[in-house]
Amino acid sequence: MEKSSNMMMEELGGRVASVWAGLRPTTRSMFERALQSPSSAPAVRNANVYDARAEWELSRLLAALDDRVHDQAALSLSLEQTRELGRMAETCALVLHAEARSAEVFAQLFERALGVHDYARVDTLADTLAARLPPSEVCELARHANPAVRALAYETLAQAPTSTLVELLGDPVDMEVAREALAAQADDYGSEEARWLLNALERAGEEEDEL
């Protein structure tokens, strides 16, 4: 499989081949196993084992494959090569989702799915967001340049325990995001606890202004 994979990657273009050549054997094997899997959700390593390097490598590979898909030079590929390119990009996205534990990678996957209006994929990604990312990383997503990505992050935070948002209030970087999420809990979900906290924060702010 290694030889054929190398040949396929070289045929797809310089950047794809370069990124592929830089993958560690473990990451390369993970991707190759997924390519051979008949399932639409390739099996990967134990979900409890996080490999930040593999996440980074797969993110770079997906970016290179997606760039090749949209590159005008891709028109020179044969029909078989074009299909294989699309299959490899989709497989890489699935494997990367299974590995994703960072705001940056979730943003990449969200923007990719949103760009092709694959809302089923968007929902699948959103469903795993809270379990995969710590609240501070979700806050980072809530500050993303893409408003759709921000909205998805805020929705996740609005469904988090109010106690989680209270902890975020103590972080000067995440404080404003936490307050907006509390407002969503109060207004959209009718949380009296969130409403009480917002009122308390407002009163505290007024008292500080008077001093």
Residue 203: its pLDDT value, please? 87
pLDDT band at 1 (very low <50, low <70, confident <90, very high): very low
Terminal Cα-to-Cα distance of the chain (whole angstroms): 71
How much is the average pLDDT of 112-135? 96
Closest CA to 22 of 35, 9, 12: 9
pLDDT tens digits for range 42-101: 555 555 578 999 999 999 999 999 998 887 665 677 888 888 889 999 999 999 999 999
Res. 15: pLDDT tops 80: yes
Backbone angles phi, psi at 75, to 5 degrees: -65, -20
**Which phi and psi (to 5°) does residue 172 adopt?**
-60, -25
- How many whole angstroms separate alpha carbon 170 and alpha carbon 156? 19
Q: What is the pLDDT of residues 26-51, one digit of tens each?
A: 999 999 999 988 655 555 555 557 89
**Which residues, 6 or more positions from 23, have their beta carbon under 8 angstroms from its beta carbon?**
31, 57, 61
CA distances from 85 to 5, 81, 90, 100, 194 (A): 12, 6, 9, 22, 48
Q: Residue 208: its pLDDT value, please?
A: 65
Would you kindly state where each structural domain of the chain is located, as residue ranges? 1-99, 117-211
